[in-house]
Amino acid sequence: MAQNIRERVLVTGISGFIGLHCAKELLNQGFEVRGSVRDMKKADEVLITLAAASVDTRHLTFVQLDLTSDEGWNDAAEGCDYIMHIASPFTIANPKTEAEMITPAVEGSLRALRAGENAGVKRVVLTSSIVAMMGSMKTGTFGPSDWTDSSSSAISTYTKSKTLAERAAWEFVENLPDSNTMEFVTVNPGGVFGPPLGTNITGQTMAIVDQMLNGKLPLVPNIAFPMVDVRDLAVLHVQAMITPKANGKRILAAGSAPSSFAEMAQILKDEGYKGPSTRIAPDFFLRFMSLFDREAKGMLGMLGMNLSADNAATRSLFGWTPRSVKQSIQDTAKAVSLIQNQ
């Protein structure tokens, strides 16, 4: 819990799927939250969404920030004890140019760190991803000490952007003057599922469940990787922020076992949903599709992937026990179905 004098946290990307859950967790634990949005019109939406989730928003304020602009960052961080930098572009589809995704990911992370340095914050928590660890591996187990080779031609633009952003952040922190005491932690989530706060299901993971439930994914890719529930992820973000021993760590936020799209579809079918299909798309079909479909192209590097995660350090450090994938997918589908039927 925060102390009687409320500590203030700058949360970038507060209107997103993960950002909203982190804001909820912080506010419920007694922190003051300053959330960043690209457009101040989003502020009202965030307030309404959190209030509907029975969150006390009296200690929530907003600032406008852009990952590709220096404007406002120092003012946003001023008076904050912590920064939780969650904002970053996320889409499975490869963009038309790499810079569209890589530039805001890398520059946004560095802007958050520079603002934190200038404001004298205690610690910055950066939301990275397991894709910055697992690289182009197809089988086996990866962990916090592993790094993706960003020069590999086998990885997607998203994977490259998360790897380069995290690398740049660690390099920045390593080069801080000895007199600077700002601490740094990364949280590296797996595939993030779980019920959204609010009614926005346009994000990548929510869109996948939405398409499954509506029968719009007649074939699923042959991919399996570790996943995490967004509610567990939000708790980990706060623990990574306040736990002394977390400083300097890469926190692997995912279950240990791989979960496939076919398994997800089967969970939904077992729950009585009629739309999901467990038919696996042949790899050659996705390779053909990738010639003219940027989303299919973004999946090529993951075809045939069946990876496990070594999350022993996360479990030990925080006493963490994640929800089961089955529970997470069931809760996600229930929430998405309710939104669809509104």
315: which DSSP letter?
Answer: H
Look at residue 307 and give its three-state secondary structure: strand
The answer as to whether 1 is a domain residue is no
**Contact in structure between 136 and 163 (CB atoms under 8 Å):** no
The answer as to whether 342 is a domain residue is no
Mean pLDDT of 236-246: 98
Catalytic residue among 24, 160, 162, 297: 162
Annotated catalytic, 162? yes
Work out the burial of residue 291: count CB atoms within 10 Å of its CB; fewer than 13 is exposed, 13-18 middle, 19 or more buried. exposed
- Which of 309, 308, 205 is CA-nearest to residue 252? 309
pLDDT at 90: 65
The answer as to whether 2 is a domain residue is no
The answer as to whether 188 is a domain residue is yes
The answer as to whether 146 is a domain residue is yes
CATH of the domain at 119: 3.40.50.720
Mean pLDDT of 205-216: 87
Check residues 315 and 157 and name the one with the higher pLDDT. 315
The answer as to whether 314 is a domain residue is yes
83-118: pLDDT as tens digits: 999 998 765 556 568 888 899 999 999 999 999 999
* Range in 51-55, 136-140, 145-149, 266-270 with the lowest mean pLDDT: 136-140
121-152: pLDDT as tens digits: 999 999 999 999 987 788 999 999 999 999 98
The answer as to whether 175 is a domain residue is yes
285-310: pLDDT as tens digits: 556 454 555 555 555 567 677 899 99
Domain extent, residue 69, equals: 8-337
- Which of 5, 316, 4, 331 is CA-nearest to residue 197? 331
The answer as to whether 3 is a domain residue is no
- Which of 159, 162, 76 is CA-nearest to residue 114? 76
| Structural domain count, the chain | 1
**Contact in structure between 104 and 89 (CB atoms under 8 Å):** yes
Residue position matching structure tokens 């397991």: 130
pLDDT at 1: 45
